[in-house]
Amino acid sequence: MKKAIVLGASRGIGKAISDSLKKLELDVISASRKDIDTSDLESVNKFADQNNSTDILVLNTGGPPIIEFDKITNEDWNRYHNQLFVGFCTLLQKIKVNDGGYIFVITSNVIKEPNSKLIISSAYRSAFSSVFKILSKEFAKSDVSLINIAPGPINTDRTRELVDDVVEYANSLPMKRLGEPEEIGNFVSAVIEKEIKYLSGVVINFDGSNSNFIF
């Protein structure tokens, strides 16, 4: 049976992806923060040693807190550099993704439209998206598809943290609602189930028509 590893799988989008993949014939490893803390490289290395190959890998982690630019310290930069960037790179260096596999990363719409509230996230998710795009060309040789999903306003604890009045916010959106984590979960599992391999190297906005940039 093919194997899937989903990070940040205890809640939100990660959980929805994990739940959706469990409906396929897959051995799904749903990792929570106690299994791997991507801000702690020791934890990352240990996880990679224990899970050194897979068919499907879903890179996903919580977002950093809101900090004003002037108040971000070196410690903050380094911590979230690890959590959002180095940890993921290390996993890609250490975990073998089998031929014909998939790697997904869940980033954010801030990689296209950076957000003053989410400076740290905008920066490091952009950095990782850049590496991910480059690697997509390498992995293509072994038929591994790399897909970057960039969610907008999704109905998660995170969004409820960031927004004062969720009902009002939802009403201001083009679809008059937040996206559901299950929509992303079902999307990921559908791509895998239908073996849509040529969808690779792509960044997919998942924001209910909310972004303004043409692409």
Of residues 10-39, those binding a second copy (CB under 8 A): none
For 187-197, give one letter per residue: b (16+ CB within 10 A) or e. bbbebbeeeee
Is 208 in a helix, a strand, or coil? Answer: coil
Q: Which of 4, 6, 146, 156 binds a second copy (CB under 8 A)?
A: 146
Is 202 an interacting residue with respect to a second copy (CB under 8 A)?
Answer: yes
Q: Which of 130, 160, 161, 172 binds a second copy (CB under 8 A)?
A: 130
Is 40 an interacting residue with respect to a second copy (CB under 8 A)?
Answer: no
Asked if residues 173 and 210 have their Cβ atoms less than 8 Å apart, the reply is yes
- Minimal CA–CA distance to 139: which of 194, 197, 58? 197
Look-up: residue for tokens 């690890």? 82
Task: Specify the residue, 27 or 41, whose C-beta has the smaller distance to a second copy.
Answer: 41
In the complex, what is the shortest distance from the CB of residue 61 to a second copy, in angstroms, rounded to a whole number?
16
Q: By CB neighbour count within 10 A (0-12 exposed, 13-18 middle, 19+ buried), where does 20 fall?
A: buried
In the complex, what is the shortest distance from the CB of residue 161 to a second copy, in angstroms, rounded to a whole number?
19
**For residue 146, what are the β-bridge partners?**
103
Is 193 an interacting residue with respect to a second copy (CB under 8 A)?
Answer: yes
In the complex, what is the shortest distance from the CB of residue 175 to a second copy, in angstroms, rounded to a whole number?
5
CA dist., res. 93 & res. 98, Å (int): 13
Task: Specify the residue, 11 or 72, whose C-beta has the smaller distance to a second copy.
Answer: 72
Per CB under 8 A, which region of 52-60, 97-105, 109-117, 164-172 contacts a second copy?
109-117
- Minimal CA–CA distance to 190: which of 139, 149, 161? 149
- Minimal CA–CA distance to 96: which of 39, 44, 142, 134? 142
Residues 69-108 close enough to bind a second copy by CB under 8 A: 69-70, 72, 74, 77-78, 81, 85-86, 89-90, 92-93
In the complex, what is the shortest distance from the CB of residue 30 to a second copy, in angstroms, rounded to a whole number?
20
Annotate 111-158 with DSSP letters as a single string: GTS--GGGHHHHHHHHHHHHHHHHHHHHHHTTT-EEEEEEE-SBSSHH
Task: Specify the residue, 42 or 164, whose C-beta has the smaller distance to a second copy.
Answer: 42
In the complex, what is the shortest distance from the CB of residue 9 to a second copy, in angstroms, rounded to a whole number?
20
Is 203 an interacting residue with respect to a second copy (CB under 8 A)?
Answer: yes
Is 42 an interacting residue with respect to a second copy (CB under 8 A)?
Answer: no
